[in-house]
Amino acid sequence: MKETKLFKQDIAIQAILYIIQKMGGTCDIHKCHKILYFADNEHLSKYGRSITGDAYVRMDFGPVPTCIYDLFKAVRGDSYFASQVDDVRRDYFHFVNNKDMVAVAKPDMSYLSGSDVEMLDKYIAKLKDKSFNSVSEVSHGYAWLHTAQNEVISVRDRLTEMGDTDEYIKFIEEQMHAEEAVM
């Protein structure tokens, strides 16, 4: 899976903690992935930047954030790199089984902007009470359908799904390429 230079690990971890807290103290990986996917997409469309900066890959049950999923696997202990995950990350959350996370810490809200929280809240509310199958189904939109299995979903397709114009999409793509170039 392709990692992105734009991934903001510290913000992503705080967003995950925020989601877990808002979900009542526990959240499954699948629902967390989809909340982040939709929140990232709408934030990118509305405010010109992604919350987490992660790239999303088309998987059977919907888009999956590549860096976040790698982090989850490492914390869970089922990754080649599990022994390299520092205890600080395990101090944020842990898994009670292969799919359900529990927060060990509260989110540090200084990492999340008001607009980040706005989008996270919107998609937590939309997906919180949906079943696994319903969450999967709703995530199988234009971007997912126009991407090959196990491939990164393009920003272009994600923003097209949000209803953005070609001109705006080109602007966002240029901004992201410029940001990657300086990193």
Segments making up each domain of the chain, as ranges:
9-176
As a three-state string, the secondary structure of the chain is: CCCCCCCCHHHHHHHHHHHHHHCCCEEEHHHHHHHHHHHHHHHHHHHCCCCCCCCEEEECCEEEEHHHHHHHHHHHCCCCCHHHCCHHHHCCEEECCCCEEEECCCCCHHHCCHHHHHHHHHHHHHHCCCCHHHHHHHCCCHHHHCCCCCCECCHHHHHHHCCCCHHHHHHHHHHHHHHHHHC
In the prediction, which pLDDT does 91 show? 79
The pTM score is: 0.92
Task: Give residue-wise pLDDT tens across range 85-111.
Answer: 555 466 788 888 989 999 989 999 999
Q: What is the mean pLDDT of residues 21-38?
A: 97
What is the pLDDT, as a whole number, of residue 84? 53
pLDDT digits (tens, 9 = 90+) for 34-87: 999 999 999 999 999 999 999 999 999 999 999 999 888 888 877 555 555 555
